[in-house]
Amino acid sequence: MINNKRLRKDELQNLVERITLEVIQDMKPSYPQKKILFVFCDSSTHESYLDQMILFKKHSFQYDVITLDSETSGWLGNAYIQSTGACQVIAFDSLAPAPIELPIAYEAIIVPEIDLDEATRITMGLKGTVQSELVFSSLLLGKPVISCVDFSGIKRPDRRTLQTIELPQPYRQLLKKRIIELKEMGVYFAKQSSLFSTFREIAASPENQTEEQMKEHFYEGRLLTLKWLSSNRLTNQALFVKKTTIITPSARDYMKEKNINLIVYNNGSFESKGEENK
């Protein structure tokens, strides 16, 4: 009797686990998620950029964060090492990707604080640090790299150690030169408060979109208007909208004229409305 009760309990537990897993999978977004990678010099830096992270998430852009605490953080070959405390305990993960591989999985790399040392290394074509390899591989792949123009050029750990917040005049002039060189290499610079808006402008630019991205677009709003369609210059593309999205008559006429295929997604299913626009 006791064994039968245990058996039923185990069966019930397995059933609950399977149902829970199915529910969680159904809750996942039914449309592709785009991801951004934030790279911070230490674990406290990200707090200054929380507002920008909220904007990314609000507009359906997921993001990952890398924090490089002190000079003890980095990659050795394909293995990731990081200091986990004052005693410099090393955490080792042989399955972690090398920094040169990371940009492949992201739409853009945001390195808010590129200090003078890293800027010089990048512009000289030198690698060997996480930041320099990330920027190198991102530019090589044609992925946008965005940094902040209103940064002092000194690493946060150096500022804390030396108790100073700005570079001497000769170094400031050198940093300005490095920023100009980085811009020439393809790195974008923006104010801290406009990282998200700068990314949106870059992503909307045709020269920064792949052939696949040029063919599809996702609209997350409640009302689809002619103004939005014309501002995004959609032509011969697939436009994904939620089932609850309201589409104005002028927007429908525009989609018919520009041969835009309307695709409605709802609870994991997709329904093409392209024929209705013709």
- DSSP-assigned beta bridge partners for residue 76: 79
Domain count along the chain: 2
Nearest one of 92, 83, 29 to 60, comparing CA atoms: 29
Strand partners, 83: 90
Question: What range does the domain containing 267 cover?
Answer: 210-277
Judgement on whether residues 110 and 238 belong to the same structural domain of the protein:
no
Phi, psi of 265 (to 5 degrees): -115, 140
Q: Are residues 195 and 181 in the same domain?
A: yes
For Cα atoms 131, 134, 137, give the angle at the middle one, nearest 5 degrees: 145
Is residue 171 located within the same domain as residue 56?
yes
CA dihedral 223, 228, 234, 236 (to 10 degrees): 30
Whether 5 is covered by a domain: the verdict is no
pTM of the model: 0.60
- Cα distances from 236 to residues 70, 180, 256, in angstroms, run 49, 37, 10
Residue 22 lies in a domain: no
In a domain, 269, yes or no: yes
Q: Mean pLDDT for each 10-residue chunk of the chain (278 residues)?
A: 57 70 54 76 82 86 78 45 47 60 88 92 88 91 91 85 90 94 94 89 62 59 82 72 84 86 66 50
Predicted confidence at residue 34, as pLDDT, reads 73
The answer to whether residues 52 and 131 belong to one domain is yes
Other C-beta atoms closer than 10 Å to the C-beta of 40 total 21
**Ramachandran sector of residue 166 (left: φ over 0; alpha: ψ -120 to 50; beta: rest):** beta
Rounded CA gap, 266 and 258, in Å?
24
Residue 30 CB partners (closer than 8 Å, separation 6+): 265, 266, 267, 268, 269, 270
Q: Are 192 and 112 in contact (CB under 8 A)?
A: yes
State whether residue 7 is helix, strand or coil: helix
Last residue of a domain, one of 207, 231, 265: 207
Pairwise CA distance, residues 143 & 149, whole Å: 19
Domain assignment present for residue 6? The answer is no
* Cα torsion through 118, 124, 128, 131, rounded to 10: 40
Could you tell me the sign of the dihedral formed by the alpha carbons of 22, 24, 25, 31, in that order?
positive
- Residue 258: burial class (beta carbons within 10 Å; 0-12, 13-18, 19+): middle
Domain with 232 in it: what CATH number? Answer: 3.100.10
SS3 57: helix
Q: Which residue has the tokens 């004229």?
A: 257
Q: Of 207, 232, 249, which residue constitutes the final position of a domain? A: 207
